Structure 1
Amino acid sequence: MDTCGCPSRVSQLACGTLCPPSRNIRPTSARRAATSSQHSLVRALAARSMAAPSSSATSPAFKAFVDASAGAMGALFAAVLLYPLDVAKTRRQVDVADQQDAARRKEARNLLAAVWLIYRREGADGLFAGLSSKVAHTVSSNFAYFYWYSFLKAAAERQARAPITTGTSLLVASAAGALNMSMTLPLEMINTRAQILPSDDEADADADKDKDQDGRRSMWGLAKEIYAEDGLLSFWKGFIPSLVLVSNPSINYTIFDKLKLQLQHSKMAATNATRVSSLTALEAFILAAIAKAVATIVTYPVIRAKVLMQAQKKQVAGQQKTSHAHHHAEMGNSMLQVLKRIGELEGPSGYFKGCSAQLFNTVLKSALLVMTKEQITKYTMRVLYMLRRDAAPKAIEAAKA
């Protein structure tokens, strides 16, 4: 408390304008009453400021947490809903033309036909092979990405005191993607192996104890198998193409943010609104689909090279070679070797083999993710605003008491 009775937190600002200067004169009773009323107002404003969660609710870290949570939930919803398409897409990507069974290639002529083929041969379990590892990877990956992207973007905008440029947005998205990829690549590696292994693919007799009830390798069993190949480094197989693919979400979310900003400005101009409105679910879906399609086409050759690198197994001493391990044994150990091998075996079209399946799956998944995320973020922030608004009158009443 200062000598005038105002809380020290506001004395230098509010009290400096509301309170009378100290003089060696006796104030009149009217002046004392006015001053007392002013002091009460200052104390009420100070209590409201201290009680309302304005600073924490609008801080970059808090906004990043809300965005990350919404992004993770949206990604999980999309991943589970479209998981059978994801399995079929991955299996198409790892098939090499001169090794693939011709009859099976004809049967799986498109993504939906491939889904039906997996169901006929392996049942529903085949369509959800590796779902547990996918859930773990999706939640952790998207939470990490959206957290770092939102946090770094807010920090950059605060530093620049203006909306960031396209170039800065790309750098921020790339940094967020690199941090996310480094932390979650082992889970992606496990999931890729789980998706491409049919239930009857056995590495050795000792692996039976690491199988689930449906005869598939568990996450723990796959992790041990991957570790046996090259130690811990095996979990980061495909690191270089994954690092290159950091540009995929960077391109994706940069395009989405720019399209979103343009649409919001157009809506404001059309309605003479003074506030920026949120996107509707349909608007978010369409913009996200466009952005993801562009990002996927630009980076697809590297996407396929990464999947092939993660799919091929290194022969472990004393382990019987499986047909699947042999199937990808000669693709190469580096991204450039794999890309060169694809060109030799399949020609230029091989670089985009499975691209339509990738587009259908990832564009739909990304659109569902962003649509869900936008709605979750909007309602979460609305609830926080209502809580903040309700807390303010209570704080003022408490200050008056």
Structure 2
Amino acid sequence: MSDALINGLAGAGGGIIAQLITYPLQTVNTRQQTERDLKKEKRKHGTIELLCQVVKHEGWGRLYGGLLPSLAGTAASQGVYYYFYQIFRNKAEAAAIERRKLGLGDGSVGMFSSLLVAALSGCVNVLLTNPIWVVVTRMQTHIKTSKKPMAGQTLLRNPDEAILAAADEPPPYGTFHVVQEVYDEAGVLGFWKGVFPTLIMVSNPSMQFMLYETMLKKLKQSRSLNKNGNTGITALEIFFLGALAKLGATVVTYPLLVVKSRLQAKQHTTGDKRHHYKGTLDAILKMIHYEGFYGFYRGMSTKIVQSVLAAAVLFMVKEELVRGARFLLTKNAINTVKSKPP
């Protein structure tokens, strides 16, 4: 099994576990990003308040709206990203070794090369998986309407009335329904809504991996000078390195994430045109004009908690899975050699 494939599968596994742990926060954050209050309206919903509102009015299940396509998207995204990241990384390391032979550099991959490798991997990932995230965003921002009788109303006793009332209930908002809805609105191209700001946002994982690789490299160098002989990196240290790297990247690129969510959420073509975006530039200009620059940072505190926790879990699980896979492969190879007759 190739090193790229090991990293791809480990990244997918780590991404799924991180997604399961932090998904309710992701749902809340997507709703915060797509709120379209005018700048004169100071009212905003905090993370805990919005969590309680969703549970109270829509049920616990809505916090996991779009979970299945999101898990598929996470597995695909992390698998694709880590697979191509390792391929590009191997090429960058080979190029660095060749440059050292020519007397240029120390043979290690520099910060710019790490940034370029992460950016290329991110672009491939975005182009292949954007349709999944359009579906996930629609499902996360869908508001489930309740047909429970209000105070003072009487329950329907007539079977015919009950049938008519049930007919008024909205259909289940499942994956197939969302796919059909997006296709009816904009055809195949509708599944690539928000792809432009998302492509720009490859700078987020690029910064994340650049910071992570740089901190990991310095920690390993520091450990190599340790006289006690302890040169290993623990899972907890990987957790904190991943958290710090994601925190720095998220703060810088968050406005692009808000614009992407606005474009991928369902567009209401009727009514207030201030809430309808024709494209990336139109969304940016309308948000500045009607909401001010605050609009680009809606829900950032929620996103920081969710993304930092998810990234830390992902890095920790991914490194442990890679380490375990390599150990098993090495053990199997040794057993195979021992079992061969002399």
TM-score, normalised to structure 2, is 0.85
Question: CA, structure 1 residues 99+258, in 2 after alignment: closer, same or farther (shift >3 Å)?
Answer: closer
Structure 2: 5+ residue stretches without partners: 98-106, 147-165
After the TM superposition, list the runs of 4 or more consecutive aligned residues in structure 1 that deviate by more than 3 angstroms: 99-102, 326-331
For 1:136, which of 72, 81, 99 is the aligned residue?
A: 72
Question: CA, structure 1 residues 140+67, in 2 after alignment: closer, same or farther (shift >3 Å)?
Answer: same
Matches within 5 A, 1:236-385: 236-271=192-227, 273=229, 277=232, 279-313=233-267, 315=269, 330-385=275-330
Residue number in structure 1 paired with 2:161? none
Residue number in structure 1 paired with 2:22? 82
For 2:191, which of 218, 225, 235 is the aligned residue?
A: 235
> Matched residues in 2 for 1:333 and 1:376: separation?
43
> Matched residues in 2 for 1:130 and 1:384: separation?
36
> Matched residues in 2 for 1:393 and 1:332: separation?
65
CA deviations 1:181-214 (Å, max 9, x no partner) are: 100000000000000002239xxxxxx99x9xx9
Structure 1 residue matching 2:314: 3-state secondary structure: helix
> Which stretch has the larger CA shift, 343-352 or 329-338?
329-338
Contact 1:71 1:143 in 2 (8 A): yes
Letter in 2 for 1:241: P
Residue number in structure 2 paired with 1:164? 109
> Matched residues in 2 for 1:74 and 1:215: separation?
34
> Matched residues in 2 for 1:89 and 1:374: separation?
27
1:178 pairs with 2:132: no
Residue number in structure 2 paired with 1:388? 333
CA deviations 1:216-240 (Å, max 9, x no partner) are: 3111110000001111000000011
Structure 1 residue matching 2:145: 3-state secondary structure: coil
> Matched residues in 2 for 1:309 and 1:94: separation?
9
CA shift for structure 1 position 328? 7.7
1:155 pairs with 2:109: no
Letter in 2 for 1:69: L
Structure 1 residue matching 2:38: 3-state secondary structure: coil
Contact 1:199 1:216 in 2 (8 A): no
TM-score, normalised to structure 1, is 0.73
Contact 1:198 1:216 in 2 (8 A): no
Letter in 1 for 2:255: P
Contact 2:267 2:277 in 1 (8 A): no
CA shift for structure 1 position 314? 5.7
CA shift for structure 1 position 329? 6.2
Letter in 1 for 2:15: A
> Matched residues in 1 for 2:40 and 2:145: separation?
18
For 2:53, which of 109, 117, 130 is the aligned residue?
A: 117
Question: CA, structure 1 residues 200+246, in 2 after alignment: closer, same or farther (shift >3 Å)?
Answer: same
Question: CA, structure 1 residues 225+76, in 2 after alignment: closer, same or farther (shift >3 Å)?
Answer: same
CA shift for structure 1 position 128? 0.8
Matches within 5 A, 1:183-198: 183-198=128-143
Letter in 1 for 2:250: T
Question: CA, structure 1 residues 329+134, in 2 after alignment: closer, same or farther (shift >3 Å)?
Answer: farther
Letter in 1 for 2:302: A
CA shift for structure 1 position 272? 5.5
> Matched residues in 1 for 2:195 and 2:303: separation?
20
> Matched residues in 2 for 1:288 and 1:216: separation?
38
> Matched residues in 1 for 2:273 and 2:30: separation?
14
Which of these two proteins has the greater Rg computed from alpha carbons? 1
> Matched residues in 2 for 1:308 and 1:240: separation?
13
> Matched residues in 2 for 1:66 and 1:247: separation?
24
> Matched residues in 2 for 1:86 and 1:139: separation?
16
> Matched residues in 2 for 1:329 and 1:157: separation?
49
CA shift for structure 1 position 168? 1.0
Matches within 5 A, 1:7-22: none
Structure 1 residue matching 2:17: 3-state secondary structure: helix
Question: CA, structure 1 residues 231+314, in 2 after alignment: closer, same or farther (shift >3 Å)?
Answer: farther
Question: CA, structure 1 residues 101+137, in 2 after alignment: closer, same or farther (shift >3 Å)?
Answer: farther
Higher relative contact order (CA 8 A, sep 6+): 2
Letter in 1 for 2:181: E
Contact 1:293 1:359 in 2 (8 A): yes
Q: Percent identity?
A: 29
> Matched residues in 1 for 2:119 and 2:96: separation?
19
CA shift for structure 1 position 350? 2.1
Structure 1 residue matching 2:317: 3-state secondary structure: helix
Contact 1:200 1:215 in 2 (8 A): no
CA shift for structure 1 position 100? 11
> Matched residues in 2 for 1:127 and 1:178: separation?
29
